[in-house]
């Protein structure tokens, strides 16, 4: 279906990859992994013919249809969400114009006419609309939003409409660049299960290891300027990569020892007449060797110990008989009771629009309730990690000054050291926050929380825009965090590693499960994760 041979690409004298080979067959599920800047998106652009390689070739079967979802949503005009999802946006009028041109000219026997008529009929097929609605519902859209102008929606929702369009198209090769960034947990699980049964091939770039573990059967890693092939999912890849490194490193060390022994013999006896020929032979033996390059160790998550926060009371925060509604909407919560105790690590789960983010904002004191009592525990210190990271950053501050303002006790060298652990290297710490990428803003926001930790940490989708190593580092840091954590996440791996309690949110009601994610799924969904999220609260 897709074959990449001997591909090379350089920028400004820096080679991203060379002699890179990749093969995707029909029905395969392939992930392309590597550190930021390694060239993953560049390979996508070359395959899509948006960029040229320096050398090599990209070959596709003649009849292969390719569909691509970029990281950032495409622009939309006045079309509705449903028109975006069906692919009708701007196409119907274009096809009608072409058809009328040929009809007026009497050239309906022209191949363009028949091809356009086929496309026009396909777009008007009632089954296309029915399928588009199914995809939109699976991705979290409500029926009443189908006819809304897409431009009224956020970028993440527009991205979902474009994703629905790709699924309606059913391309032979589906290329996805970070497709889970804009999905909530419910829609992510639906999308994951849909792709498991997808008839075409999938080429994926993702930072969601749980998603890849459930879906992927082949991994290509960009490393050492090559594409290395591994069979299995992401966890299999990590194990194989570590084993390969250990084998390679052992061979390298053995050869280096052999070279040293030969060189030592030659140095010792080169001036001894009876041994000179042997010494020369040892040097020639070194020259004849195929030298093993020193392997680069796989990068590992960095360890960061969150300082011990001030000790709070046994009850971190209590809601008693709470009523809450936004100004223009119905009540979201009525007579709600909820309590968070010190040391709990609680995840809030439920379908889109259930009120999870609203509850987190109420706990953070960001929203004022209309009725009832909101009570913080003794000595409570709240940290609220919003989905909208940029709102918490001063756009005119540098990265390092932002951290030092959050923790005035830090010296600049200490702040730089911590930022280095979070992949802000050298002069990057002096960048203005307004020019940072989404991932950089997320990492900087995390640093601000971790250098001056609260004892009640409330996090809304903390893993969005973070790479796999940073997510693993965050998991390790939060695992040893001595405060209280309440969070929302679409990352199942993150939830499984951290949550000790699950609170299901639906229809203004809450149900607590005093156990981890697997316990919640078993008790409420019989082993089905999506069924667990939509089960009735009784």
Distance CA 418, CA 451 (A): 8
Backbone Cα Rg of the chain: 28
User: For 145-173, what is the mean pLDDT?
Assistant: 89
User: Residue 507: is its pLDDT beyond 80?
Assistant: yes
CATH topology of domain 315-534: Rossmann fold (3.40.50)
Distance CA 339, CA 514 (A): 13
Main-chain phi, psi angles of 21, to 5 degrees: -120, 140
What angle do helix axes 438-451 and 412-421 make, rounded to 10 degrees? 130
User: For 91-109, what is the mean pLDDT?
Assistant: 77
Distance CA 395, CA 441 (A): 11
Name the percent of the chain lying above pLDDT 70. Answer: 97
Name the percent of the chain lying above pLDDT 90. Answer: 53
Which of 198-202, 225-229, 298-302, 435-439 is the least confident region?
Answer: 435-439
Q: N- to C-terminal Cα distance for the chain? A: 50
Nearest alpha-carbon partner for 33 in 265, 221, 309:
221
Sheet of 501-506, strand order: 382-385, 456-460, 484-488, 345-349, 501-506, 509-513
User: Residue 88: is its pLDDT beyond 80?
Assistant: no
User: Residue 49: is its pLDDT beyond 80?
Assistant: yes
User: For 272-292, what is the mean pLDDT?
Assistant: 91
pLDDT at 286: 93
pLDDT at 523: 92
Pairing relationship of beta strands 509-513 and 501-506 according to DSSP bridges: antiparallel
Distance CA 153, CA 82 (A): 13
User: Residue 93: is its pLDDT beyond 80?
Assistant: no
Distance CA 534, CA 349 (A): 10
User: For 99-126, what is the mean pLDDT?
Assistant: 78
User: Residue 89: is its pLDDT beyond 70?
Assistant: no
* 22: CB partners within 8 A, 6+ apart: 2, 3, 4, 7, 30, 43, 220, 227, 229
**What are the structural domain ranges in the chain?**
76-166, 237-288, 315-534
Average pLDDT, the chain: 89
pLDDT at 457: 94
In Å, how far are 235, 248, 315, 490, 497 from 516, measured between CA atoms?
21, 39, 21, 15, 9
pLDDT at 91: 62
* 83: CB partners within 8 A, 6+ apart: 89, 150
Distance CA 219, CA 237 (A): 7
Sheet of 55-60, strand order: 14-24, 2-11, 55-60
User: Residue 514: is its pLDDT beyond 70?
Assistant: yes
Question: What band does 538 get if pLDDT is binned at 50, 70 and 90?
Answer: low
Which of 50-64, 90-104, 363-377 is the least confident region?
Answer: 90-104
User: Residue 429: is its pLDDT beyond 70?
Assistant: yes
User: Residue 440: is its pLDDT beyond 90?
Assistant: no
Distance CA 462, CA 478 (A): 12
Distance CA 82, CA 95 (A): 18
Higher pLDDT, 78 or 374: 374
Distance CA 173, CA 468 (A): 25
Sign of CA dihedral 242, 248, 254, 256: negative
Cβ 4 vs Cβ 220: under 8 Å: no
> What three-state secondary structure class fits 522?
helix
pLDDT at 144: 92
pLDDT at 486: 97
How many helical (H) and strand (E) elements, i.e. helices and strands, does the chain have?
Answer: 18, 18
User: Residue 90: is its pLDDT beyond 70?
Assistant: no
pTM over 0.75: yes
Question: What band does 282 get if pLDDT is binned at 50, 70 and 90?
Answer: very high
User: Residue 24: is its pLDDT beyond 80?
Assistant: yes
Nearest alpha-carbon partner for 84 in 40, 31, 149:
149
Return the percent helix, strand and coil in the chain, to nearest 5. 45, 20, 35
Helix or strand holding residue 239 (H, E): helix 234-269
Q: What is the pLDDT of residues 167-200, one digit of tens each?
A: 988 889 999 999 998 899 999 999 999 999 999 9
Sign of CA dihedral 48, 54, 56, 57: positive
Which of 32-41, 113-122, 272-281, 412-421 is the least confident region?
Answer: 113-122
User: Residue 303: is its pLDDT beyond 90?
Assistant: no
């Amino acid at each position: 279906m897709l074959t990449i041979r001997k591909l090379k690409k350089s920028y400004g004298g820096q080679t991203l990859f060379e002699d890179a080979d990749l093969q995707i067959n029909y029905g395969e599920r392939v992930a392309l992994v590597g550190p930021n800047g390694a060239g993953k998106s560049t390979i996508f652009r070359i395959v899509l013919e948006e960029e040229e390689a320096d050398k090599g070739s990209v070959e596709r079967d003649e009849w292969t249809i390719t569909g691509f979802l970029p990281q950032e949503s495409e622009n939309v005009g006045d079309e509705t969400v449903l028109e975006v999802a069906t692919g009708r946006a701007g196409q119907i009028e274009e096809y009608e114009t072409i058809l009328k041109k040929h009809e007026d000219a009497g050239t309906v026997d022209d191949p363009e006419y028949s091809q356009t008529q086929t496309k026009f009929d396909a777009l008007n097929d009632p089954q296309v609309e029915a399928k588009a609605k199914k995809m939109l519902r699976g991705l979290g859209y409500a029926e009443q939003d189908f006819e809304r102008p897409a431009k009224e929606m956020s970028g993440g929702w527009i991205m979902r409409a474009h994703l629905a369009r790709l699924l309606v198209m059913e391309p032979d090769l589906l290329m996805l660049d970070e497709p889970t960034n804009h999905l909530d947990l419910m829609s992510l699980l639906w999308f994951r299960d849909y792709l498991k049964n997808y008839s075409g091939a999938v080429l994926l770039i993702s930072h969601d290891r749980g998603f890849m573990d459930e879906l992927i059967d082949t991994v290509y890693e960009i490393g050492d300027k090559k594409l290395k092939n591994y069979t299995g999912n992401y966890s299999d890849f990590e194990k194989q990569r570590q084993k390969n490194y250990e084998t390679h490193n052992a061979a390298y060390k053995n050869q280096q020892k052999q070279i040293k022994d030969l060189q030592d013999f030659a140095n010792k006896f080169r001036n001894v007449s009876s041994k000179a020929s042997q010494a020369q032979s040892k040097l020639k033996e070194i020259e004849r060797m195929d030298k093993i390059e020193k392997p680069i160790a796989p990068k590992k998550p960095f360890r960061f110990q969150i300082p011990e926060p001030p000790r709070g009371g046994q009850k971190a925060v209590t809601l008693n008989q709470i009523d809450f509604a936004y100004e223009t909407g119905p009540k979201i919560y009525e007579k709600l009771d909820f309590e968070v105790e010190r040391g709990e690590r609680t995840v809030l789960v439920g379908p889109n629009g259930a009120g999870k983010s609203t509850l987190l904002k109420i706990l953070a004191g960001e929203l004022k309730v209309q009725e009832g009592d909101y009570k913080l525990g003794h000595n409570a210190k709240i940290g609220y990690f919003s989905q909208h990271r940029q709102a918490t950053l001063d756009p005119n501050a540098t990265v390092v000054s932002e951290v030092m303002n959050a923790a005035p006790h830090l010296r600049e060298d200490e702040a730089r050291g911590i930022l280095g652990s979070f992949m802000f290297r050298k002069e990057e710490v002096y960048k203005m926050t307004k020019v940072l990428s989404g991932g950089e803003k997320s990492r900087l926001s995390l640093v601000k929380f971790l250098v001056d930790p609260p004892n009640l940490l409330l996090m809304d989708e903390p893993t969005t825009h973070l790479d796999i190593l940073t997510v693993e580092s965050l998991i390790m840091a939060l695992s040893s965090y001595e405060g209280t954590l309440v969070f929302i996440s679409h990352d199942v791996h993150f939830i499984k590693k951290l949550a000790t309690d699950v609170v299901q949110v639906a229809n203004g009601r809450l149900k607590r499960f005093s156990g981890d994610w697997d316990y919640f799924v078993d008790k409420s969904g019989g082993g089905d994760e999506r069924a667990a999220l939509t089960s009735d609260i009784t």
